[in-house]
Amino acid sequence: MKDKIFKGLLFAAALAILLLTAGVIYVLVKQSLNVFHEYGVFGFIFNAEWDPRPETEEYGAWSFIIGTLFTAFFALLLCIPFSLPVALFNGEYFKGYKISSFVSSVVDLLAGIPSIVYGLWGFYTLRPIVIQLGVNAQGFGIFLASIVLAVMIIPYASSLSAEFLSMIPDTVKEGAYSLGATRAETIRHVSLPMASSGIVAAYILALGRALGETMAVTMLIGNTTNVPTSLRDTGNTMASVIANQFGEADGLKLSALIGIGLLLFLITAVINLIAKFIMKKLSVR
Amino acid sequence: MSDRVKFSNVKKRAAKDKIVFGLVCLFSFLSMIPLFLIIWEVVSKGYKNFNWRLFTQVAPSSMDALIAKMSGEPIPGGILNGITGTILIVGMAVLFTIPLGLFVGIYLSEHPENKFARTVSYLTDLLQGMPSIVIGIIAYIWVVKPLRSYSALAGSVALTIMMLPMVVRSTEETLKMLPRTLKESGLALGASYTSVIFRVILPSGFGGIFTGILLAVSRVMGETAPLMLTALGATVVNWNILKPTSAIPLLIWDFYNDPNLVDIIWSASLLLLIVIFLLNWIAKIVARRWKI
């Protein structure tokens, strides 16, 4: 009897996850229905106008979608030359050594720093440098936000890539060595190709992180509603516009912000599912 | 002739190998620099205001800070309202998360082949990838709107949604590593399913489960975005879970937006970093001590 109740409780808990997810999607859709009704799904997505003034009220998500994709992909690009060496350092060259556990714990600590502290660091330390580089007058913008984002996602990209690199059996690499290949050649022609899908999955997950990052970006991107066309431009991401404008929003504007939240949720969900799908396939093999 | 050509080729390849190795080391060490830069900045700017007052007084008003600044004194006040708020909000979130997270984790590890369990597992991944600001929106609609007030409760609901997938995953993964024989021998001795889970399985997996909870707490400790939409912030110490409440990251955000209060921003960040790194450190020790 006791066991039955307990098993029922376990099932109920698992069911709660199902209901939670269903509830999340339900409220996001229901609360944003208004704005999709007003402009149509594509009319809302592809409209770059965001004007909350009552007389000329108009809401479109396009400039924020572009801002989000722009910063996230540029950050991903910036993070590769750092996260890939870290992955090789920990998963290949110094696999199993003390130094690699030191490096990986230091890099992992980067993941523990709160987003808002990254924002402060970007604002007080990196912004003056960006101004000196002459990127733009105020320092705020896509460029600054992407740099900080790149630092933030290094641990996500590197630790998972290192894991996949370290899973390659030694015998395969020894085969390459015995044919006279150098270590670098073995990495280039054996390790990286073998771990490639795992590494791609790691970077897709890192991209998902970058897309949803809120506070640091809000503090650094400049918060303007234009469509950013170059690294020098200021802009807004989907997350940062919600963080900035949610507080005083009501009516159609609130619905528009929740609609942007729904779109962001869908984008990150698809990205994560792709990464998980690749990883599931790998683990089956 | 041809020997020399080959030899230079080998030399070139060896040199290339060394260069790649050098670059990997160089860029790995470059990747660690930001951590030290951030810690250095927070410590060097934050230690001055890191004193008893920080823990005993509430955040100063902008006016008080301005007056103190003009007369050349250090800014009065601390972040007591943030500290108590973080304890309240995170504490409640932990209370909500642990039973639910553990039960779901146990369920998933007990039914790895079950179709329903696999769906739940996918959904857990989905929730884990959900951006924190979207979680803030959800908690706003679910709690703030019906209660018609920003509240600590809404904040902890948001943090619960964030922590839940992490705790589920770590519990599931830990329990899956336990040998099947452990459970079977418990059952063979005539113990009920319930007592096998509570007396054998959970204690054996304690290390991994506890580490997962600690890491989840350290992850949500510094979350700002979801709290902005739910707990909002308050200028006084508040223990009423139905009223707006501050938190350390929320105070950092307030200080950031108010030029008069900037001095205290670094001490608040320092405290936050210390707590987070401490939690990470304890998690590591626990994981090593109670290794399966």
3-state secondary structure of A227: coil
| Residues in chain B within 8 Å Cβ distance of A242 | 133, 136-137
Of A105, A113, A239, the CB nearest to B38: A113
- Chains A–B, number of C-beta pairs less than 8 Å apart: 232
Phi and psi angles of residue A222, each rounded to the nearest 5 degrees, phi first:
100, -20
**Chain A: residue whose CA lies nearest to B198:** A6
Q: Are B31 and A82 within 8 A, CB to CB?
A: yes
Cα B292 from Cα B286, distance rounded (Å): 11
Q: Does B107 touch chain A (CB under 8 A)?
A: yes
Residue type, A206: A
Mean pLDDT estimate for chain A: 93
Q: Are A185 and B13 within 8 A, CB to CB?
A: yes
Please say whether the beta carbons of B200 and B186 come within 8 A.
yes
Please say whether the beta carbons of A152 and A76 come within 8 A.
no
Please say whether the beta carbons of B199 and B191 come within 8 A.
yes
Question: Which tokens hold the place of A115?
Answer: 């987003």
How does residue A94 score in pLDDT terms, banded at 50, 70 and 90?
very high
| Residues in chain A within 8 Å Cβ distance of B168 | 17
- Predicted pLDDT at B6: 58
Q: Are A114 and B249 within 8 A, CB to CB?
A: yes
**Residue B202 Cα distances to A15, A217, B102, B170, B182, angstroms:** 21, 40, 9, 12, 11
Res. A122: pLDDT tops 90 = yes
**Chain A: residue whose CA lies nearest to B27:** A82
Q: Are A265 and B106 within 8 A, CB to CB?
A: no
| Class of the domain covering B80-289 | mainly alpha
pLDDT tens digits, residue range A132-181? 998 888 899 999 999 999 999 999 999 999 999 999 999 999 999 999 89
* Helical packing angle, B132-139 and A238-245, nearest 10°: 40
Name, in order, each residue with C-beta under 8 angstroms of B38's C-beta and a sequence gap of 6 or more: A113, A117, A118, A121
Name which of B128, B167, B173, B24 is nearest A158 in CA terms: B24
- Predicted pLDDT at B291: 75
CATH number of A64-284: 1.10.3720.10
| Residues in chain A within 8 Å Cβ distance of B221 | 114
Q: Are A246 and B127 within 8 A, CB to CB?
A: no
**Chain B: residue whose CA lies nearest to A208:** B129
Residue type, B71: S
| Residues in chain B within 8 Å Cβ distance of A218 | 225
**Residue A84 Cα distances to A192, A210, B34, B77, B276, angstroms:** 10, 17, 16, 45, 26
CA distance B160 to chain A (A): 11
Name, in order, each residue with C-beta under 8 angstroms of B261's C-beta and a sequence gap of 6 or more: B59, B60, B62, B65, B75, B254, B255
Cα B148 from Cα B135, distance rounded (Å): 18
Q: Are B103 and A107 within 8 A, CB to CB?
A: no
**Chain B: residue whose CA lies nearest to A93:** B21
Question: Is residue A50 within a helix (H) or strand (E), and if so which, with residue range?
Answer: strand A50-51
Give the pLDDT of chain B (292 residues) as one tens digit per residue: 445 555 668 888 899 999 999 999 999 999 999 999 999 999 999 988 888 888 988 888 888 888 887 887 777 888 999 999 999 999 999 999 999 999 999 999 999 888 999 999 999 999 999 999 999 999 999 999 999 999 999 999 999 999 999 999 999 999 999 998 998 999 999 999 999 999 999 999 999 999 999 999 999 999 999 999 999 999 899 999 999 999 999 999 999 998 888 888 999 999 999 999 999 999 999 988 887 6
- Predicted pLDDT at B1: 42
Mutate one of B28, B224, B266 to test the A interface: name it (highest A CB count within 10 A): B28
When pLDDT is averaged across residues A171-199 and rounded to a whole number, the result is: 92
Name, in order, each residue with C-beta under 8 angstroms of B11's C-beta and a sequence gap of 6 or more: none
Mutate one of A84, A117, A190 to test the B interface: name it (highest B CB count within 10 A): A117
Question: Is residue A86 within a helix (H) or strand (E), and if so which, with residue range?
Answer: helix A62-88
Provide the ipTM.
0.93
Q: Does B32 touch chain A (CB under 8 A)?
A: yes
pTM of the model: 0.93
Q: Are B138 and A123 within 8 A, CB to CB?
A: no
| Residues in chain A within 8 Å Cβ distance of B38 | 113, 117-118, 121
Name which of B229, B225, B271, B232 is nearest B248 in CA terms: B271
- Predicted pLDDT at A178: 93
**Residue B84 Cα distances to A62, A229, B187, B240, angstroms:** 40, 44, 45, 11
